[in-house]
Structure 1
Amino acid sequence: MAVSLSHYQSLLEPIEAFLGCATPDAWLAEATEPGNLPLLLIDHCNCELKAAQTAIWLIRRYAVDGESGKALLAWVKPYEDFVYRRAQGDFGGAKNALIGELKSKDGFSHGPEILDKMIRLIKEELHHFEQVLEILAERQIPYATVTAARYAKGLIAEVRDHEPWTLVDKLIVGAFIEARSCERFARLAPLVDEELGRFYVSLLRSEARHYQDYLSLARQVAGTDIDERVALFRAKEAELIQSPDSQLRFHSGIPATTAA
């Protein structure tokens, strides 16, 4: 039985309006081929870790002192060991661990707000990482190394190199990545098996909040209208999603074979 999204339309409509395009049908057709499911799940797993790492980078760079930054790195280390060094993942509830008293960095008024929103995001992304690992195990899909998509790198290439606009742009990029993730979970949910579809639906509210948090922080840090920058990243994001892509990944563009 296909998963219904009828209760999520009010949540999805702002995200669909924020993005510059919908996920192309050609990507959905390729992504839902049974033989491609292992690759998609592994890449999804990696994306959850990357989302947590991005939030940790933002906190360390802008919101906390050096010792607090070390505590954050220790928090995520078991997950990085599993992905990058293939060590056995003994996470032991690390995603919800108390990581000590984090000391805010002096001289940056937006630090506490970044810290508050990003800590919650990290906990949720690490939890999702573990959930995807469980799905892989249940389906007897071994974890394997998967190269990164061009997507995030393509967006980051547009980030300005002077503050505060570097931070503003990185936050806008975060908003688009989270919004696209939410949109793709919603598009995939009715097309995959019911168990996986329900899992994707369970992620919609947190992904939608992450997009809103990133965008809200970008506006706060900028202290001025950011519509022009949002429009620039919207166009770039849509270009990456709608152009031919040689790799199938969770955030990839149209499969090159289809586009040809």
Structure 2
Amino acid sequence: MTETVFQEESEVESLLSPLRSFLKCSTPKEWVEEAKKEKNLPTLLRDHLICELKAAQSAMLLIRRYAVDEESGKALLNWLKPYEDFTYRLVGDWRKLADYSSFNKRMVPKSRRPYSQPLIDKMVLLIKEELHHFYQVLEIAEELGIKYDKITSSRYARSLLSHVRTYEPAALIDKLICGAYIEARSCERFAAVAPHLTAKLSTFYYSLLRSEARHYQDYLALAREISDNDISERIAYFGEIEKELIQSSDDDFKFHSGLPC
């Protein structure tokens, strides 16, 4: 084993170790076997693409709902609109999406909310990275001859978020915890499936580990900062829900799906 390979494997393990401690279960081998099948690659990539956009949208909604004024919120909507038009309405040329990757609008924090600026700082960076990953998935899919087409969303995020409390700031804290689990599972699945894909896809998925690992930590840090009380019990609560979604039967194969039927 060369020194470079050893260093790469060591870095991957250092990123995954705390993440595996956070998640309540690993991806079942049955899901990995399904993801390895060549016939499922288009679904895997298309769903991954949508997951990247949904991650950006979720971060954007948090900023708009909790952290910025109306004008800043409109600027965020306009930033994501070309990506949404392409994904949901099949409008536009995906190659031109790179022209919309930057965002220079100054966000104006809501007054009397001490967590507004940390939320803005972390979520704007997350949006930029997710949109960049979105474009990278499209590039790889194009090289592989996989054209984008709309697909239905999996049950995963919707089911997690259905358990969010309905009053504030508990709702925000729960949303951040859900975001942490979604990002952590994404990271864990990149590592689980990467060894079984083409060299280029494998390299790409491993390259995502660093940012995705930081994303889940950012979500947790924000949740802890906003809460006046210890949130360990709430983290464990959502961990069990997430575990059930991953380990229960699921006839809809997607990036975050459960056990294949």
Which residue is equivalent to 1:34? Answer: 38
Query: Does the 8 Å contact 2:98/2:135 carry over to 1?
Result: no
Residue 92 of structure 1 deviates from its aligned partner by 3.8
Per-residue deviation, 1:191: 1.4
Q: Give, in angstroms, the shift of residue 96 of structure 1.
A: 1.9
Change (3 A) 1:240 1:164: same
Instruction: Determine which structure has greater relative contact order: mean sequence separation of CA pairs < 8 Å that are 6+ residues apart, divided by chain length.
Output: 1
Task: Name the structure 2 match of 1:185.
Answer: 190
Equivalent in the alignment of 1:251: 256
Q: Does 1:64 align with 2:68?
A: yes
| 1:234 matches 2:239 | yes
Deviation at 1:231, TM superposition (A): 0.5
Q: Tell me, yes or no, if the aligned pair for 1:60 and 1:69 is still in contact at 8 Å.
A: yes
Task: Determine which of 139, 148, 153 is the counterpart of 1:148.
Answer: 153
Deviation track 1:134-155 (CA, whole Å, cap 9, x = no partner) reads 0111111010111000000110
CA spacing shift, 1:92–1:127, aligned 2, 3 Å:
closer
Counterpart residue type for residue 246 of structure 1: D
Are 1:51 and 2:43 an aligned pair?
A: no
TM-score by length of 1: 0.95
Corresponding letter in the other structure for 1:44:
H
Partner of 1:94: 100
> In the aligned structure 2, how far is the partner of 1:44 from the partner of 1:167?
25
Shift of 1:121: 0.1
Give, in angstroms, the shift of residue 5 of structure 1: 3.3
Find the aligned partners of 1:5 and 1:117 in 2 and give their Cα distance: 28
* Structure 1: gaps (5+ residues): none
Moved more, 156-165 or 187-196: 187-196
Q: In 2, are the aligned partners of 1:5 and 1:186 still within 8 Å (CA)?
A: no
Corresponding residue for residue 17 of structure 2:
13
Q: CA deviation at 1:224?
A: 1.6
Change (3 A) 1:229 1:200: same
Matched, 1:220 2:225: yes
Separation (CA, whole Å) in 1 of partners of 2:189 and 2:106: 36
Q: In structure 1, give the amino acid aligned to 2:126.
A: L
Matched, 1:209 2:205: no
Deviation, 1:157, is 1.1
Secondary structure (helix, strand or coil) at the match of 2:153 reads coil
Q: Distance between the aligned counterparts of 1:60 and 1:138, measured in 2?
A: 36
CA distance in 2, matches of 1:104, 1:172: 22
Counterparts of 2:203 and 2:107 in 1: how far apart (Å)?
Answer: 36
Structure 2: gaps spanning 5 or more residues: none
Say yes or no: does 1:166 pair with 2:171: yes
Deviation at 1:38, TM superposition (A): 0.6
Q: Does 1:75 align with 2:74?
A: no
Partner of 1:109: 114
Amino acid at match of 2:248: S
Q: Kindly state the Cα deviation for residue 8 of structure 1 after the two structures are TM-superposed.
A: 1.4
Query: Within 2, Cα distance between the matches of 1:245 and 1:68?
Result: 40
Aligned length in residues:
253
SS of the residue aligned with 1:203? helix
TM-score (norm 2): 0.95
**What is the RMSD computed on CA atoms of the aligned residues?**
1.1
